[in-house]
């Protein structure tokens, strides 16, 4: 991951430097969002100075800088190629369809692609089902754009139908209720905004009808609903599932081709489109009314059913079913995580406990042994990690982007004359809705920390922010002629046409150099923990060879490269202990505890050293009491206490968390 982040940072720095060198200056479009994103990244990096888990904060700062680089590149692309919304929408759809297709193939060929998968829900290649669901959901507007556009090759448009089928099937088999809900919201927004409703309904309804029986069959099998299924159980249904997916895609492609060819021969009349729209609206209203009536005449009644659903949603102990029943349930563990985030926020409301520290800070407040590194919600985790300062920057960034998106798509409120629904505008709305879909899903999950869907959404969001209003893109004749001349020239001439001709002035040169230096420094900082990990691995190799001097040199180097992580200190203690220098090793572990007092692992390592190396069980019990104050629900503490008590042969009570 570090290598990927370094490449992103250096590539973004180079492209942005070339953009600043161009005689055509930075237009200013997207600057507000880019600056606010940069401020959020700076706050994330600065939080290492007060973080309770500095190594985790450094990791999050590296990820945020890489995301900023992607967003900056997308903003630049929006400025340089403002009419490429269709290209961006197509790229997002292709990336999502390929990833979702690969995930489905992992269940068709489990021995080759998913041999070590233990979960039942579809999650490959992210190893997290909700992230895969988010990747599928954010591509739904792009599939609707491809299938409903008036321009372009009909054969390409027909691909929207199997693509939508792959996305819908993936959404259902991930059993991600949040992703499914955001996909429905995205489709509803598309139908409400874009006046291509008849075309869009075909892209929605036909894949839904085809996917329903396949998903129902899959969710009735243990291989798709029960965890820890053996490979033989998954292979037993793989062939049937693969055949169903193949037939589904072929049937949807054939239906798409038939619809596209019929549409090319005859355009539906305005009266027919209005009648179909009215019929769909009436059907949706009747369906909603029927649902309300059925709830009203049920045993619990409408009020009782709603009350039960609210209770399940807010309960921290309500069980969550698996399979198809999960899609009808609203219970989850999010209320517990959000409560813990609120308690962490109360500790330090202004600046929080440091970026990406929720997983450590929550240990004091959890009521069970569940492990969780994230708060399952971007805003609640931002409040816990970065306090009001981080939340204010995040909300300001959201407001700035929504303003830019409304202006770019022509949907800004108070506008007297709306732009026409051109091919470009429809594609731009699809790209904007992709970013909105991811934002909605990340508000109730931790998909922000998964690079795959995050990068796709940032590309979409950055392009929309940097593109500018539709009204400002009417090319002048001279500019159009220049564009044609550039297109017909060679590669070097095209590059000069992209960036502009003529020598750069001093201000642009200075800005470009500053961008390059900043990108290089950020990439260098991101790479240091990776270098430290390699030095630590080398130290263990030398320790196996009994080269204590070489191992000591490597751990000192690792400590210099990554002073925020306790890992080099643990390795140093191991090297010193193997060399027979037990007091020195003990002092190093004490230093790890003093530098990372909220990390229960430092206390546990110190207690284990006191118990196993120094034969000090009483002191180990005291240390374990401090560990229990940090993590009262730790499963590792009781066995160590029992061992220490057995050594002492004195029945001591287990340590209790002070004040809790």
Read off the pLDDT of each residue in 367-386 and give the average, rounded to a whole number.
90
Closest CA to 352 of 43, 35, 59: 43
pLDDT band at 388 (very low <50, low <70, confident <90, very high): very high
Residue 476 has pLDDT above 50, yes or no: no
Confidence at residue 41, expressed as pLDDT on a 0 to 100 scale: 95
- pLDDT for position 26: 61
Cis peptide before 125 (omega within 30 of 0): yes
Instruction: Taking residues 407-426, report their average pLDDT.
Output: 84
Q: Is the pLDDT assigned to residue 505 strictly greater than 70? A: no
- For residue 286, count CB atoms less than 10 angstroms from its CB and return exposed for 0-12, middle for 13-18, buried for 19 or more: exposed
27 vs 104: which has the higher pLDDT: 104
pLDDT at residue 16, rounded to an integer: 76
Q: How would residue 493 be classed by pLDDT, with cut points 50, 70 and 90?
A: low
What pLDDT is attached to residue 327? 75
Q: Which of 530, 548, 531 is nearest to 539 (CA)?
A: 548
As a residue count, the chain comes to 660
Cα–Cα distance measured from residue 602 to residue 631, given in angstroms and rounded to the nearest whole number: 12
Residue with tokens 């990068």: 455
% of the chain exceeding 90 in pLDDT: 56
Q: What is the pLDDT of residue 484?
A: 42
pLDDT band at 87 (very low <50, low <70, confident <90, very high): very high
Instruction: For residues 278-301, give the mean pLDDT.
Output: 63
- pLDDT at residue 7, as a whole number: 85
Question: 272: pLDDT confidence band, cut at 50, 70 and 90?
Answer: low
pLDDT band at 475 (very low <50, low <70, confident <90, very high): very low
Q: Among 458, 426, 452, which residue's Cα sits nearest to residue 439?
A: 458
Which tokens hold the place of 80? Answer: 């340089």
Rg of the Cα atoms in the chain: 28
Q: Which two tokens stand for residue 411?
A: 């949907």
| Three state DSSP letters for 34-50 | HHHHHHHHHHHHHHHHC
Q: What is the pLDDT of residue 652?
A: 52
- Cα–Cα distance, 368 to 356 (Å, whole number): 21
Tokens standing for 605?
Answer: 């390592």
For 485, other C-beta atoms within 10 Å of its C-beta total: 11
> Between the ranges 137-141, 311-315, 576-580, where is the mean pLDDT highest?
137-141
pLDDT band at 300 (very low <50, low <70, confident <90, very high): low
What's the average model confidence in pLDDT over 243-263? 93
Selection from 575, 567, 505, 501 nearest residue 533 by Cα: 567
Per-residue model confidence as pLDDT tens digits over 14-67: 877 777 776 655 667 888 999 999 999 999 999 999 999 999 999 999 999 999
What integer is the mean pLDDT of 141-153? 90
* Tokens standing for residue 246: 């193949």
Check residue 79 and give its pLDDT: 86
Structural tokens at position 175: 């059993």
Provide mean pLDDT across the span 543-571. Answer: 91
Query: Could you give the CA distance from residue 434 to residue 405 in angstroms, rounded to a whole number?
Result: 12
Give CA angle at 195 (191, 197), nearest 5°: 50
| DSSP one-letter code for 580 | T
**What is the rounded CA–CA span in Å between residue 363 and residue 46?**
24
Confidence of residue 469 (pLDDT cuts 50, 70, 90): confident
Q: What share of the chain is helix, strand, coil (3-state, %, to 5)?
A: 75, 0, 25
Averaging pLDDT over each range in 69-83, 301-315, 411-425, 586-600, which range is the top one? 586-600
Instruction: Kindly tell me if the per-residue pLDDT of 394 is higher than 60.
Output: yes
Lowest mean pLDDT among 223-232, 284-293, 610-619: 284-293
What CA–CA distance (Å, rounded) separates 156 from 64? 36
Could you give the CA distance from residue 223 to residue 244 in angstroms, rounded to a whole number? Answer: 16
Average pLDDT estimate for 370-379: 89
The tokens describing 327, both together, are 């899609």
C-alpha of 509 from chain center: 36
Mean pLDDT for 338-362 is 95
CB count in 10 Å sphere of residue 46: 17
Q: How far, in Å, CA of 306 to CA of 291, rounded?
A: 13
Question: Quick one: pLDDT at residue 628?
Answer: 93
For residue 518, the model assigns a pLDDT of: 85
- Buried residues in 532-547 as b, exposed as e (16+ CB within 10 A): bbebbebbeebbeeee
pLDDT at 54: 93
- Do 23 and 501 form a contact (C-beta atoms < 8 A)? yes
Query: Could you give all domains of the chain from N- to C-terminal order, each with its CATH number?
Result: 516-648 (1.25.40.10)
pLDDT confidence bin for 477, thresholds 50/70/90: very low
For residue range 449-460, what is the model confidence (pLDDT) as tens digits?
A: 999 999 999 999
Rounded Cα distance, 632 and 501, in Å: 66
Contacts with 590 (C-beta within 8 Å, 6 or more apart), sequence order: 606
Q: What band does 480 get if pLDDT is binned at 50, 70 and 90?
A: very low
Q: Range with the lowest mean pLDDT among 388-397, 417-426, 465-474, 541-550?
A: 465-474
pLDDT above 50 for 486: no
pLDDT more than 70, % of the chain: 83
Rounded to two decimals, the pTM is 0.87
- How does DSSP assign 105-153, residue by residue? HHHHSHHHH-TT---SS--TTTT-HHHHHHHHHHTHHHHHHHHH-SSS-
The DSSP letter of residue 613 is T
Contacts (Cβ under 8 Å, ≥6 apart) of 220: 323, 324
Residue 320 has pLDDT above 80, yes or no: no
């Amino acid at each position: 991951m570090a290598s990927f982040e370094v490449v992103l940072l250096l590539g973004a720095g180079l492209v942005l430097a070339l953009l600043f060198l161009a005689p055509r200056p930075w237009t200013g479009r997207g600057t507000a969002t880019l600056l606010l994103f940069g401020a959020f990244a700076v706050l994330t990096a600065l939080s290492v100075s007060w973080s309770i888990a500095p190594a985790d904060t450094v990791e999050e700062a590296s990820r945020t800088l890489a995301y900023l680089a992607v967003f900056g590149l997308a903003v630049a692309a929006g400025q340089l190629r403002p009419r490429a919304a269709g290209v961006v929408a197509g790229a997002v759809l292709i990336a999502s369809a390929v990833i979702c297709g690969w995930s489905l193939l992992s269940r068709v060929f489990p021995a080759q692609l998913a041999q070590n998968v233990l979960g039942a829900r579809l999650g490959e290649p992210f190893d997290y089902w909700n992230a895969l669901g988010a990747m599928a959901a954010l591509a739904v507007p792009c599939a609707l754009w491809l299938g409903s556009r008036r321009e372009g090759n009909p054969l390409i448009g027909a691909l929207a139908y199997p693509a939508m089928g792959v996305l819908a099937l993936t959404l259902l088999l991930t059993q991600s209720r949040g992703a499914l809900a955001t996909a429905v919201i995205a489709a509803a927004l598309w139908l409400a905004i874009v006046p291509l409703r008849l075309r869009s309904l075909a892209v929605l309804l036909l894949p839904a009808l085809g996917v329903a029986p396949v998903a129902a069959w899959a969710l009735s099998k243990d291989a798709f609903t029960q965890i820890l299924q053996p490979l033989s159980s998954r292979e037993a249904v793989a062939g049937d599932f693969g055949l169903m997916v193949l037939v589904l895609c072929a049937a949807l492609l054939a239906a798409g081709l038939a619809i596209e060819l019929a549409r090319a021969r005859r355009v539906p009349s305005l009266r027919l489109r209005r009648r179909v729209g009215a019929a769909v609206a009436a059907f949706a209203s009747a369906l909603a009314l029927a649902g309300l009536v059925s709830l009203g005449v049920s045993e619990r009644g409408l009020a009782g059913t709603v009350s039960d659903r609210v209770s399940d949603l807010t309960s921290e102990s309500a069980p969550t079913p698996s399979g198809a029943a999960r899609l009808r349930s609203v219970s989850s563990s999010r209320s517990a995580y959000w409560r813990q985030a609120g308690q962490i926020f109360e500790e330090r409301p202004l600046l929080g406990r440091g970026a990406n520290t929720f997983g450590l800070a929550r240990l004091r407040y959890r009521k069970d042994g569940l492990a969780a590194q994230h708060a399952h919600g971007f805003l609640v985790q931002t409040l816990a990690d970065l306090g009001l300062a981080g939340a204010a920057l995040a909300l300001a960034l959201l407001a700035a982007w929504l303003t830019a998106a409304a202006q770019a798509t022509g949907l800004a409120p108070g506008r007297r004359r709306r732009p026409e629904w051109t091919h470009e505008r429809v594609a731009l709305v699809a790209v904007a809705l992709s970013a909105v879909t991811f934002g909605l899903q990340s508000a109730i999950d931790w998909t922000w920390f998964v690079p795959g869907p995050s990068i796709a959404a940032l590309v979409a969001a950055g392009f929309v922010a940097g593109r500018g209003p539709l009204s400002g893109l009417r090319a002048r004749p001279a500019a159009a002629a220049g564009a044609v001349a550039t297109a017909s020239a060679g590669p070097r001439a095209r590059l000069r046409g992209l960036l502009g001709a003529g020598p750069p002035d001093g201000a642009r040169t200075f800005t470009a150099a500053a961008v390059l230096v900043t990108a290089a420094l950020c990439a260098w900082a991101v790479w240091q923990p990776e270098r430290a990990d390699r030095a630590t691995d080398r130290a263990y190799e030398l320790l196996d060879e009994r080269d204590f001097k070489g191992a000591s040199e490597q751990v000192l180097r690792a400590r210099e490269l990554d002073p925020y992580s306790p890992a080099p200190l643990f390795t140093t203690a191991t090297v010193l202990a193997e060399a027979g220098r037990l007091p020195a090793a003990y002092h190093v572990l004490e230093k790890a505890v003093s530098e990372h007092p909220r990390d229960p692992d430092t206390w546990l390592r110190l207690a284990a050293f006191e118990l196993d190396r120094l034969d000090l069980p009483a002191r180990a019990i005291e240390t374990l009491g401090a560990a229990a104050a940090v993590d009262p629900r730790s499963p590792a503490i009781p066995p160590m206490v029992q061992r220490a008590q057995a050594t002492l042969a004195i029945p001591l009570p287990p340590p209790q968390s002070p004040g809790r």
